[in-house]
Amino acid sequence: MTRWDPSLYLQHAGDRGRPFVELLARVPATAPARVLDLGCGAGNLSSVIRDRWPGADVLGVGASEEMIAHAREVDPDGRYEVADVNALTPDGPYDVIVSNAMFQWLPDAFAVITRLLDAVQDGGAFAVQVPDNQDAPSHRLMREVAARPAFADHTQGVREFSATDAPAYLELFAGLGWTADVWTTEYLHVLEGDDAVWGWVSGTGARPYVQALPDGLREQFVAEYQAELRAAYPQRDWGTVFPFARTFAVATRPDR
């Protein structure tokens, strides 16, 4: 399992959190009693849920003990549990289930989502946001460098990517008879500092590869990957442009 560093992840908290705010704004629920936040991370966005629905009982769930410990420390008013969503059986029904940038980590995300939909009550909503950048230079180069002979024995199979494009999510929810609001947004993040894109991915997508490598090879991988990123994302006087596409889906359950 990937080990997470809350302080590293939160270095871009504003840019990472904006999609969740925009996702939540499209959820049609007005006064849900129970909300489940899947992949709640470091707890920095839980207040957004409580601000939107002050009367809701909100439970945040995440697989990383480091992230949940941080969430409990910085947000003592919140409720958080460590749990693997692959095996999670929610104590439903929930009025709203939300998930921000988590399902792209699961090799069979749609099977997990389909199972979790049983915990949404009639008229309730399932809202999800996932990065749709698996073919962007940042991630393509990550895989290409990891596949080089020096690293391949250690990195083969360390990360699989689920379908994250909008049409796939529309097909999933509409095919199950749910009403689906699905869209894609590409953000043009302007990052500051040297090796700025590495600074972003080192807190998220690159972690499985870096953690799979032993000392010596780890530093070599980082250096070679950084060089590729500098060529793909040139630094300008005013920053480094990092295009980042994300898929959003808000699905509403019909009455049964």
Better pLDDT: 51 or 42: 51
pLDDT in tens, 57-89: 999 998 888 889 988 988 888 999 999 999 999
Domains of the chain, first to last: 6-252 (3.40.50.150)
Query: Residues 172-201: what's their mean pLDDT?
Result: 95
> Among residues 101, 195, 212, which one has the least CA distance to residue 146?
212
Question: Residue 54 has which token pair?
Answer: 């002050």
Nearest 10 degrees: CA dihedral of 108, 111, 113, 119? Answer: -140
Residue 150's contacts (CB-CB under 8 Å, 6 or more residues apart) are: 217, 220, 221
Say how far residue 202 (Cα) sits from the centre of its chain.
Answer: 14
Confidence at residue 99, expressed as pLDDT on a 0 to 100 scale: 95
For the chain, state the CA radius of gyration: 19
Q: How far apart are CA 109 and CA 127, in angstroms?
A: 14
At 2, the pLDDT band (50, 70, 90 cuts) reads low
At 16, the pLDDT band (50, 70, 90 cuts) reads confident
- Point out the least confidently predicted range of 70-84, 109-123, 219-233: 70-84
pLDDT in tens, 228-240: 999 999 999 999 9
Omega prior to 93 cis, within 30 of 0: yes
Terminal-to-terminal C-alpha distance of the chain = 38
pLDDT at 6 over 60: no
